[in-house]
Chains A and B, each alone.
Chain A
């Protein structure tokens, strides 16, 4: 195996991106809104396409804003359809994100006539091309994902108790004066921003894996929120490392020259989840030491 500074940067960028996704992902999973990450990651496409069409360049700021706005709109439209048309939230989400994604695809084909834009790259990401060619240079994708990671850490650290409260009991949050709606949209904004940043490096399809799989894995092995965030972060980093190692070593075994790191990252995350699930199935020795389980106690009539 041939490892050089490019590989290091690919892993670092992948890890930063996975970390940035895993943190808000924990709250999505706890709110039972895992598919919202999927919806937003698809629905940001028209925002990106419109930003291309209006600015005619791949300038990052307009793209970022366009995608973030459509991401938040997805959450807003879903809420509206759910509430005012009385359609189930999952179905409402399905309607909103497929429609927005379709608009995005149409726009992107249109935009591709004018701008150099590869739909494949949008879907699957270009982690390999994000790494610098010259040693000592920090790739832009690492800076963007790192910045988003810092933003996510800052928001979660600052609003830890509020986010936890509104995820656990939104009605109580409202009666205590912490608007659960406001916190919902804040979280959706974080997811949208994170998705856009991750878009470039891992692509929209794999964002959903990094938003959900580390969080779901962590939920299997811990019973507290803070450890859950930490375990999810560890799984995210591990997926990035294993993913890139896998992309370098696994395909040659089958006679291929190589595969995408982002794809292997999602696969590695799935593998880690499977291991965690199998471990969680094993009988717990700690449970016996804790004394009686809820089943032992009077459960009432």
Chain B
């Protein structure tokens, strides 16, 4: 089978397989993600959604295949990428303020050895205000609620000013206000021509939030405009016989 991978796409993945302890987690992944889309990566637990993101960012080793960012290996185009890890991936008791964490987004342009200055702090503050928690800038991060912590992570991604964002479950366990803030932010990023790949759990909101959907269950079941690929048939292929989920999926379909 021959696959085309346009080099001007923010993410192209070819024949990607990742295995933990020789047990494959994702198989033969082929993807072409066009620019300026909000992309939902959807699939059941253990489908390899986070694994896919981490493998694209060289955070875990690939067993075979490659993932390119704008036609080049991740290493070469790292500066174009912003990463929002899962909230649980860090220790929120760490002695830093919200502003400190957001300012970390500016480190790449700052480079080695140079200190965070007024310019970086101003950029961090602007990002915090954009996600609606500017007033909490000087709080130690453990004094923030889960939703506020998630907003800190998003503000940090904003401060990175990347062209393609990888977000690992930003909507997990956040309050309704935060969910709305994230959606607004995603739309703003799209207006600026940025591409966002978002690992997402809630089938009910896929149609509403994302204009491109990747259905994943170890292999890519379908990838394309949400209106085309988010179908009953594809969901059945992705989720198999998980009835409760399928019911929710059916609800989502009737709503959208």
Contact = CB atoms under 8 A, between A and B. Distances in A.
- Asked if chains A and B come from one complex, the reply is yes
A300 B145 contact: yes
Contacts of B101: 168
Contact of A299 (B95, B108, B145, B160): B145
Nearest to B94: A168
B58 interface: yes
Contacts of A299: 145-147, 175
A224 interface: yes
A300 B140 CA distance: 20
A159 interface: yes
Contacts of A279: none
A225 B96 contact: yes
Interface residues of A, number: 35
B58 A30 contact: no
Interface in B123-144: 140, 142-144
B96 A224 contact: yes
Interface stretch (A72-80, A173-181, A256-264): A173-181
Contacts of B91: 30, 32, 168
Interface stretch (B27-35, B78-86, B210-218): B78-86
Contacts of A174: 58-59
Contacts of A98: none
Contacts of A300: 145-147, 173-176, 178
Interface residues of B, number: 43
A222 interface: yes
A168 B94 CA distance: 7
Nearest to A169: B90
Contacts of A227: 95
Given A175-B59, A301-B173, A30 B94 contact: yes
B52 interface: no
Nearest to A86: B21
A171 interface: yes
B144 A161 contact: no
A228 interface: yes
B63 interface: no
B255 interface: no
Interface in A160-205: 160-162, 164-165, 167-169, 171-172, 174-178
A61 interface: no
A282 interface: no
B107 A165 contact: yes
A298 interface: yes
B107 A176 contact: yes
Contacts of A169: 85, 89-90, 104
Contacts of B148: 294, 297
Contacts of A285: none
Contacts of B78: 175-177
Contacts of B174: 300
Nearest to A174: B59
Contacts of B54: 171
Interface string B31-66: 000000000000000000000001001110000000
Interface string B79-117: 101010100011100111100110010011010110110
A300 B149 CA distance: 12
Interface in B167-184: 173-178
A171 B175 contact: no
Given A176-B108, A294-B145, A301-B175, A171 B59 contact: yes
A175 B145 contact: no
A219 interface: yes
Contacts of B83: 171-172, 175
A134 interface: no
B59 A161 contact: no
A224 B99 CA distance: 12
Given A293-B143, A294-B143, A297-B148, A165 B104 contact: yes
A30 B94 CA distance: 7
A24 to B, nearest CB: 16
Contacts of B176: 298, 300-301
Contacts of A30: 91, 94-95
Nearest to B89: A171
B94 A294 contact: no
A158 interface: yes
Nearest to B168: A171
A216 to B, nearest CB: 12
Interface in B151-195: 156, 160, 173-178
Nearest to A160: B115
Contacts of B58: 174
Contacts of B143: 290, 293-294
* Shortest beta-carbon contacts, A-B, top 8: A300-B175, A223-B140, A176-B108, A297-B145, A175-B83, A298-B175, A225-B95, A294-B145
14 contacts: A30-B95, A164-B100, A165-B107, A168-B101, A168-B104, A169-B85, A171-B83, A172-B85, A227-B95, A228-B95, A297-B148, A299-B145, A299-B147, A300-B146
